[in-house]
Structure 1
Amino acid sequence: MSSRREPDVTRVVVLAGGVGGAKFTLGVREALARRGDPEATVVVNTGDDLWLSGVRLQPDIDSIVYALAGVNDTERGWGRSGDSERVNAELQEWGAGWPWFTLGDLDLGTHLARTGWLREGLTVTQVVERLSARWPLGARLLPMTDAEVDTQIVLADGRRMHFQEWWTRHRASLAPARFENPGIDRARPAPGVAEAIADADIVLVAPSNPVVSIGPILAVPGVSEALAATSATIVGVSPIIGGRVVRGMADVCLAAIGVDTAADAVARHYGARADGGLLDGWLLAEEDAALARDVDAAGIPAVVAPLWMRDAHATAAIVDACLAAAGR
């Protein structure tokens, strides 16, 4: 990629999910704030959503809201900081819920508010807007769809279970045959998603799990079409550093779909936009610099940069590298 002047960026869209997506979004906010640019629009995975003990949980939405609000538990990586678990303990005494899935008391307040609004007839988009209004987040959050398309795991022995049971209870130790989002073929992008992508100057694919965080977003009918049609540059950030996942069990998910746990393999999985895939550019970690030539050969211009999201400042530098890549 030859060097050019970095373009003026005023409209940024981020595709994100999970803890990695939350950390990346913090960096996006900081990088854009330094430039005086307006808020980014973050399209968030809702495939992790579930009903539990009568309330609707949206783990990825909540992780990003809490992170941007500065109230997230940075030690555990999920939930609210300083939370207690008194209600959760009482639920366990009643034999309700999942004993291996903890609901913090403050977190449960979010779930109850969400469930009440949904019962009153609000859409998921409207609920996310209300949740976002409590704190100055510095970003606009949109769910990928208003439809319920919870991720189901089909195991090698034919059994099915919700993604959260497979991920949290079994720690991805049960061999998956495939991942499904029942009903997603009838889903539509949430209001504002396609429009934000169409109007964007740059679309950033966060270093989230490619299979269960980014995959469901791309699977919503209309999203991939919007990405193919946008004039924005689409730049992704590798979730793999030095042949290892940064967090979680994305390697198990990648293996289930026949993709190696390698930065170049994930880039090829997304594909070059010029060949009908997703990407116009791909950031690899310095540890994977030797793979840049393979990514270039796949038709995806590669950029090597430090990718450890140690804090918001380091992550903002990653976002700066993404914006610079868009002008090359």
Structure 2
Amino acid sequence: MTAGAKNMAEKGRVVALCGGVGGAKLAFGLARILGDRLTVVVNTGDDFEHLGLHISPDLDTVLYTLSGLANRELGWGRGDESWNFMSVLEDIGAETWFRLGDRDLALHVERTRQLRAGVPLTQIIGSFANSFGIRAEILPMSDGKVRTTVMTPEGMLPFQRYFVERRCAPMVREIAFDGAGKAEPTAQVRAALRDPHLQAIIICPSNPFLSIDPILAVPGMRQLIEDAGVPVVAVSPIIGGKAVKGPTDKIMAELGVAATNRAIADHYRGLISGLVIDAGDAGERGALDGPTHVTATLMSSDDDRERLARETLGFAEKLAAALRAVEAVST
């Protein structure tokens, strides 16, 4: 462990902004190092109602990943899953495009029951995380209803219809976050970003447009991050002009944005202090305006996840040290 990462692990708190599969991998590495000093603020723009149940795909992916229950092959759902429920749905002609495993179903049923009883989503997720033995704090970005929708040549599609049912096939013309204007950060999210022991904010390598933008669309969220007074480090989801997982590069092309690390840096301009990029993209470093850390960002194993988390924390600590030096000179 680098000295910077060790300092953060032993003394400070870290907040990570996270979506699903890719982001959850880095969150896993951060959790290994930081334990209960980590808070993960998770996108809920993907949440939707299905078969009468409230589904929270990104939150559940983070819960399963950090607890070690995730399906390593698929990247989502549980690893010890069976599919009897889906089989019966198929037999009776019901919708089966969004697959809910038998064990996974328990979370959706219990979450829906508690939400209908008036329990906030934040409290429900905290209870689930505790039951799974997760030491890190897992927080929905808001308890308000925010729903990502995608404008396509066929009209507006709810995110899961676009992402799962249509497998990202329709062209993306615009992305909207319905309800974001009425949502707000929870008291827990505010407390995490205002914690006097906070040392860094990490933007995980989740899809900037579909996973991180919904978080930033919640009124007051961006300001909380800017006012935190700590380094904000983003890990790029792009390697060699392509997304490691998911439709990030496809969406960027359809929105007229080049699938480059510079485009990622530009997307987060004014918010981040530095960007972590893959070693294979080291040649792009000169085109980036701000501080950049080059390393292997592909996370194929748990050790990869922890190594990248350690390097990201070390980079954040270097940025923090540089900031302290500038402040010392100015005073």
Deviations 1:76-132 (A, max 9, x none): 111111211111222233333x32211101111110010000011101111111111
- Mapped pair 1:116 → 2:104: no
Which of 9, 23, 26 does residue 24 from structure 1 map onto?
26
Letter in 1 for 2:166: H
Provide the C-alpha distance between the structure 1 equivalents of 2:93 and 2:230, rounded to a whole number of angstroms.
50
2:241–2:249 CA contact under 8 A, matched in 1: no
1:259–1:269 CA contact under 8 A, matched in 2: no
Structure 2 match to 1:286: 279
TM-superposed CA distance for 1:312, in Å, is: 2.0
1:156–1:175 CA contact under 8 A, matched in 2: yes
TM-superposed CA distance for 1:319, in Å, is: 1.6
Structure 2 match to 1:223: 221
Secondary structure of the equivalent of 1:6?
A: helix
Secondary structure of the equivalent of 1:259?
A: coil
Structure 2 match to 1:13: 15
Letter in 2 for 1:141: I
Which of 236, 239, 243 does residue 237 from structure 2 map onto?
239
Q: TM-score, normalised by structure 1?
A: 0.91
Q: Number of aligned pairs?
A: 311
Structure 1 match to 2:57: 59
Letter in 1 for 2:141: M
Consecutive unaligned residues in structure 2, runs of 5 or more: 320-331
Secondary structure of the equivalent of 1:101?
A: coil
- Mapped pair 1:320 → 2:310: yes
Structure 2 match to 1:308: 298
Provide the C-alpha distance between the structure 2 equivalents of 1:123 and 1:221, rounded to a whole number of angstroms.
19
- Mapped pair 1:105 → 2:107: no
Secondary structure of the equivalent of 2:137?
A: strand
The 1:148/1:94 distance shift into structure 2, 3 A limit, reads farther
Which of 141, 144, 158 does residue 141 from structure 2 map onto?
144
- Mapped pair 1:163 → 2:166: no
1:194–1:222 CA contact under 8 A, matched in 2: no
Q: TM-score, normalised by structure 2?
A: 0.90
TM-superposed CA distance for 1:5, in Å, is: 6.8
Cα RMSD, aligned residues only: 1.6
1:153–1:176 CA contact under 8 A, matched in 2: yes
Structure 1 match to 2:169: 173
Provide the C-alpha distance between the structure 2 equivalents of 1:267 and 1:110, rounded to a whole number of angstroms.
36
Q: Percent identity?
A: 35
Secondary structure of the equivalent of 2:266?
A: helix
Letter in 2 for 1:15: L
2:172–2:255 CA contact under 8 A, matched in 1: no
